[in-house]
Structure 1
Amino acid sequence: MEQNASRKQTFIGVVVKAAMKDTATVKVDRYVKNAKYKKYFVRSKKYLAHDPGNTVKVGDTVTIVATRPISKLKRNPSFLLQIIPAVRSRASSRCSAGAIAATPASATRSSSPSRPPLQGRP
């Protein structure tokens, strides 16, 4: 006889807060379609996930899985299953604090002509 293993509900989200002991706040986004206008938009929800050992950092992408309730606020889904480290884009690495500080002030201004100051105002 074959046993059917029940698959638990899993979500992929981003850690937005990791300041509590053994707990991380994970923001899960989902896309919803508007019935009238046929436009997709993002709905998000925050879950408190159990993180034994405080291994995650803010910005990490994690997979959380539904488990039994662990505490008053840690309900389904509440257990961290997998951690995918945050990936930094090339644009953010190029715009580091040192690179911004090294650019002269004239280079950061826009090339559009400036308007003369308004008259009559103090």
Structure 2
Amino acid sequence: MTENEKVTRNVQGRVVSNKADKTITVLVERRVRHPLYGKYIRRSSKMQAHDEGNECQVGDVVTIEQCRPISKSKAWRLVKVLERAAQ
């Protein structure tokens, strides 16, 4: 890997809010193994992402990537919509 290449972090999640202009809230779930009991449990994070075209609806499954900070709470950008929500 050269110095000019940057590794971007991509995650998939479900849109839970699109009320703000050009902003979506994405719920990202991951499975984590419990340290003592070994059972897999679900952990989730809500991330604010930049949606330039206001194309996402609540319930869409999307891919977002990490980018430079756009605002106080937004440091993610919408890459593509994987699955549209049922109307």
Aligned counterparts of 1:50 and 1:38: Cα–Cα separation in 2: 36
Count, aligned residues: 85
Residue 49 (structure 2) aligns with: 49
Identity of aligned residues (%): 39
After TM superposition, give the deviation of residue 86 of structure 1 in Å: 3.0
- In the alignment, structure 1 segments of 5+ residues that lack a partner are 89-122
Residue 9 (structure 1) aligns with: 9
- 4+ residue stretches of structure 1 with deviation over 4 A? none
Secondary structure at the residue paired with 1:42?
A: strand
Measured against aligned partners, the alpha-carbon deviations of 1:27-71 in whole angstroms (never above 9, x if no partner) come to: 000100001100000000000000012100011000010100001
Q: Which has the larger radius of gyration?
A: 1
- In the alignment, structure 2 segments of 5+ residues that lack a partner are none
Aligned counterparts of 1:3 and 1:32: Cα–Cα separation in 2: 33
The residue type paired with residue 15 of structure 2 is: V
Residue 69 (structure 1) aligns with: 69
After TM superposition, give the deviation of residue 87 of structure 1 in Å: 5.7
After TM superposition, give the deviation of residue 6 of structure 1 in Å: 2.7
How do 1:1-122 and structure 2 match up within 5 A?
A: 3=2, 5-75=5-75, 78-86=76-84, 88=86
By relative contact order (CA 8 Å, sep 6+), the higher-ranking structure is 2
